[in-house]
Structure 1
Amino acid sequence: MSESFDLVVVGGGPGGYVAAIRGAQLGMKVACVEREHLGGICLNWGCIPTKALLRSAEVLHLAKHGADFGLKIGQIDYDLEAIVKRSRGVAKQMNGGIKSLLKKNKVTHIEGEAKISGKGKVSVKGADGKTTELAGKDIILATGARARELPHLKADGELVWTYKHALAPNTMPKKLLVIGSGAIGIEFASFFNELGSDVTVVEMMDRVLPVEDADISKFAEKSFKKQGMTIKTNASVTELKKGKSDVTCVVETKGKKEEITVDRVIVAIGITGNVENLGLEEVGIKVDRGHIVTDEWGHTGVEGFWAIGDVAGAPWLAHKASHEGIVAVEKIAGVKGVHPMDKGNIPGCTYCRPQVASVGLTEAKAKEEGYDVRVGNFPFIGNGKAVALGEPEGMVKTVFDKKTGELLGAHMVGAEVTEMIQGYVVARTLESTEAELMHTVFPHPTLSEMMHESVLDAYDKAIHF
């Protein structure tokens, strides 16, 4: 005998649990199935614990430079085990918070592995081996994704790590090679470099952080090198030769091969959706290149089935998953005024040092799409708050449509830009032009003043540079 729900959400990550709560708020009887940890990869093995690690690295960096602030600090060292313990504790605390939120909103939380067993049906196998049958008028698949692997770059958890292994390292590698310079790879490179590892980053594209604006990538790469990282672009790792306690990496750059021996390797070459063993073929749900195919509402094209978050494709970001969940649930509920998410307004944030954040089109992409653009830039060195913080390295870049004044994109590198970017996200959501941004009063002294100055610079009106 099955238990019936208005909505069954498969997956309790940032897409799934948010969708479940929103459904309950709209009066639905909701079940949320999670096979492992509420909060998903993001909370347990991604966004949150990595930020805890990076915060430790940031505090260490500040301590090392205490003299720059007139402070006398004694011997500076770190305890890797304690750093990891704090990170895991933060994740555990947040996990418990989600459990409480589901209970508060009267969402039925079911632990186990779910599989579609037919139209409007889900079977859940618990840890005890028992199966629970659920029936749902609508079913949202929010099963997330996992690290992508290539046959010659397989992780073993000992010498070759994925992000999950790197979050709880049992040793501090003296030499580390990171394959991939996207957000995950660069964040780990930044963390281990700050703690003293000799870090080499290998990137197939012609620059690090390849999805970012070229000027931002260039600035960030220069900073990483200044911190002691070795950056190899237009390069690939063709072979990993594992020794007893080290790995020799064969790196090919423009046809030339070299061998680099390191203690550990982190593979950060992207992710692929968790689409296996879900029973998708049972109801005819389509999969393309490891991700479930959906329309702008998250609907799979099969009546009653929806997919959101990482399993539904790029961009692979927690906040995108959460908003997709709300859009899908409100569409299911027939909420008036709901509209599809504009992926062009989804911000991207990378928490390396210096931080990187962006929204909208890069300058190159805007030109590629046929826009005649106006571009503004403003450096951190021209901002009083940045200098007072001891963070004078960075820049803010804005891209406008010369014809209409539309803010096409905003790109930043420097201290706390991951907090600042939301101002531009709001501006794009409200369809602001340069006029509204110019007439907005920014508080002084703040880093946000650079956002204003960058807009002014695009129209040759910058005051402080």
Structure 2
Amino acid sequence: MTRYDIAVIGAGSGNFLINRSVRDKRVAIIEENRFGGTCLNVGCIPTKMFVHTADIATWIRDSARFGLDARLDDVRWADIRDRIFGRIDPNAVEARQGRVTGANTTVLDGHAIFTDDHTLAVDLADRTEEVTADTVVIAAGGRPVVPAEIADGGVPFETSDTVMRIDALPRSMTILGGGFIGSEFAHIFSALGVEVTIVVRGDALVRRTDEEISKRFTELAGKQWNLCLGHAVTAARTTGAGVALELDDGSTVESEMLLLATGRAPNTDRLGLDSTGVELRDDGRIVVDEFGRTTAPGVWALGDISSEFALKHVANHEARTIAHNLAHPDDLRAFDHRYVPSAVFSHPQLAGVGLTERQAEEAGHRIAVSTRAYADTAYGWAMEDTTGICKVIADKDTGLLLGAHIMGPDASTLIQPAIQALHFATPARAMARGQYWIHPAMSEVLENALLGLDLR
């Protein structure tokens, strides 16, 4: 048995724990796949590289209304894919190499299973190594959910973990799920020439966003993709052309390729946690307190395996917080999950932070709501944008911003001033009038929305 001061399971955001604060500790970092985790290898970074490519294809097709006659002659999928992963894959290798050469750090390339709270059996390529550590941090992430109807049907399918590395574009694709992941891949593949159909149980896409935003986005999505709303899959079968999904109304949706985008599940069932005192929530996530501690002494958890927010910026924040707490046990810091922003890099982009209108009402706030269109700004005119909006929600009694929600080009960037206002409790009126807003920049849509709030 090899003893360490700290053992970290997972080298995504878990990799952030290995910094100067633990330079005098003996550390093991255990990773069975690629360093960098979901974000670097199969999530945020490669998808956004594909999204940018899809945006360019969309701009070309849309150029005629600006007086530019352009044509998209070809989509070289293999070149697109290889350019992206030609940058991604070396990054994962370099991240691992940096730990291998780090002082007091040992990299174990294998799968870890708990045998008790502080002992791990690590399956390596040529042996099983038993490891014990005073402190264990679980950062083992999650994996795509495969619905029983699909698994039972034995049909071929892709997930967000695999679809970006396919050998060739299909002519048609059915995406099961209309959340963040499904909406982003719908944009990517439709922009590159694939006929996309989305099947969802609910009556709208991206339902975790503000209801008005979700409704508007769904309407726009219906003009780009085939939508099957309000339908559940009852069975799946392989056909000569690909995969057919049988829906609960008796209809069938068929395409060459099936992409599952029905969410991700935490990897807790693969770690032998029943041999520990680590408690789980009903959905499989690890129970942690505000400092990142599990119910087993000396065992911590962060990221998708424990957090309700499956977002890289949240996992990074939690890793930084736990790194501080490990180094300063008498000065613990709590996670700050008050205002967690999110973005959907689809067409159009979506971004939001804080409460939705419904959440603000249900929380008992006396609210003011203001919505302004991109088209009401000078830069919106320049873009010829007719669908983008910015919606802000504030508390009439305090004048503080409660939430902001944007749909349109660069929404993920435009939302940042609202994130800052929420975190630093800047009153909405002071935010609007207490600083310069560049004219004629697109950020004026947020300024106009703030000025439209009736806070009297």
TM-score range, shorter chain: over 0.9
Tell me by how many angstroms 1:213 deviates. Answer: 0.3
C-alpha spacing 1:335/1:386, structure 2 compared with 1 (3 Å):
farther
230, 238, 242: which is aligned to 1:246? 242
**1:113-262 equivalent positions in 2, closer than 5 A:** 113-128=111-126, 130-154=127-151, 159-227=156-224, 229-252=225-248, 256-262=249-255
1:64 aligns with 2:61: yes
Equivalent of residue 448 in structure 1, options 443, 448, 455:
443
Alpha-carbon shift at residue 156 of structure 1 (Å): 9.2
Q: Is the 8 A contact 1:20 1:31 kept in 2?
A: no
C-alpha contact (below 8 Å) 1:115/1:122 kept by paired residues:
yes
- Give the Cα–Cα distance (whole angstroms) in 1 for the partners of residues 82 and 76 of structure 2: 10
Distance 1:28 1:447, change over 3 A: farther
CA RMSD of aligned residues (A): 2.4
Match of 2:83 among 82, 86, 90: 86
Percent identity, please: 28
Match of 1:340 among 334, 337, 355: 334
Over 3 Å counting, the alpha-carbon distance change for 1:224 and 1:140 in structure 2 is: same
Deviation at 1:234, TM superposition (A): 2.0
Determine the structure 1 residue equivalent to 2:350: 356
- After superposition, the C-alpha distances for 1:172-192 in whole angstroms (9 at most, x for unaligned) are 222222111111111111111
CA distance in 1 between counterparts of 2:156 and 2:4 reads 47
My pick for the range that moved more, 202-211 or 356-365, is 202-211
Amino acid at match of 1:442: W
- The answer to whether the 8 Å contact 1:355/1:416 transfers is yes
* Contact 1:33-1:111 at 8 Å conserved across structures: yes
Deviation of 1:202 after TM superposition, in Å, equals: 1.6
What is the TM-score when the length of structure 2 is the normalising length? 0.92
Return the alpha-carbon distance in structure 2 between the equivalents of residues 241 and 373 of structure 1. Answer: 50
Counterparts in 2 of 1:197 and 1:157: CA distance versus 1, 3 Å: farther
Q: CA deviation at 1:392?
A: 4.5
1:263 to 237, 243, 256: 256
Name the CA shift for 1:357/1:283 in 2 (closer, same or farther; >3 Å).
same
How far apart are residue 22 of structure 1 and its match? Answer: 6.6
Measure, in 2, the Cα distance between the counterparts of 1:453 and 1:212.
21
Q: Deviations over 1:138-168 (max 9, x none)?
A: 1100000001122112399974221123212
**Structure 2 counterpart of 1:109:** 107
Is residue 330 of structure 1 aligned with residue 328 of structure 2?
Answer: no
Q: State which drifts further: 337-346 or 323-332.
A: 337-346
Structure 1 residue 24 and structure 2 residue 22: aligned? yes
Please say if residues 153 and 235 of structure 2, whose CA atoms lie closer than 8 Å, have aligned partners that are also in contact. no
Alignment check: 8 A CA contact 1:374 1:458 kept: yes
Once the two structures are superposed, the pairs formed by residues 33-52 of structure 1 within 5 Å of their partners are: 33-52=30-49
Aligned length: 453
Higher deviation after alignment, 418-427 or 139-148: 418-427
Question: 5+ unaligned residues in a row in structure 2: which ranges?
Answer: none
The residue number in structure 1 matching 2:314 is: 320
The corresponding residue for 1:283 is 276
Aligned residues of 1:21 and 1:102 also touching (Cα < 8 A): no
Matched letter for residue 436 of structure 2: V
| Secondary structure, counterpart of 1:287 in structure 2 | coil
Q: Which structure 2 residues correspond to residues 297-446 of structure 1 after superposition, within 5 A?
A: 297-334=291-328, 339-438=333-432, 439-446=434-441
CA distance in 1, matches of 2:439, 2:379: 8
Identify if the C-alpha distance between structure 1 residues 185 and 17 changes in structure 2 by more than 3 Å, giving closer, same or farther. same
Cα distance in 2 for residues equivalent to 1:61 and 1:108? 46
Whole-angstrom distance in 1 between the partners of 2:171 and 2:146? 24
Structure 1 residues 157 and 409: CA distance shift in structure 2, 3 A: farther
Residue deviations 1:288-316 (CA, integer Å, cap 9, x gap) = 22211111211111110011111114211
Residues in 1 aligned to 2:151 and 2:443: alpha-carbon distance in whole angstroms: 43
Kept in 2, the 8 Å contact 1:24–1:105? The answer is no
Q: Secondary structure at the match of 1:235?
A: coil
Instruction: Tell me the secondary structure at the aligned position of residue 343 of structure 1.
Output: coil
